[in-house]
Amino acid sequence: MTVLEQEISLQEKKFALTIERLRKRNFSKNLPFLILSDKLPEGQGFYEFADGHIEIQEVYTVGADIETRFVRRLTDLEAEQVRQQLK
């Protein structure tokens, strides 16, 4: 493994740890964790909640405010697949 590859690997690990800390912080404050994915249409994201369920919500702006619209709740199997795919 080259020095560059080692640095990239280290940065990826740091990034993953930061994301996990943000996820846990949101859950501790009873807030959902936003997961962006190119598998969803533009403007939509997965919202994971502390109880384990995941919803698809659409994000849009109204003036200076950011609003969301519920699209649907994933089944337990779909939620687990999203977690596995997006780690």
Helix and strand tally (H, E) in the chain?
Answer: 2, 4
Closest Cα partner for 56 from 48, 41, 46?
46
Encode pLDDT of 36-81 as tens digits. Answer: 999 999 999 999 999 999 999 998 889 999 899 999 999 999 999 9
Q: What pTM value is reported for the model?
A: 0.81
Enumerate domains of the chain plus CATH numbers. Answer: 3-86 (3.30.160)
Contact (Cβ atoms closer than 8 angstroms) between residue 45 and residue 32: no
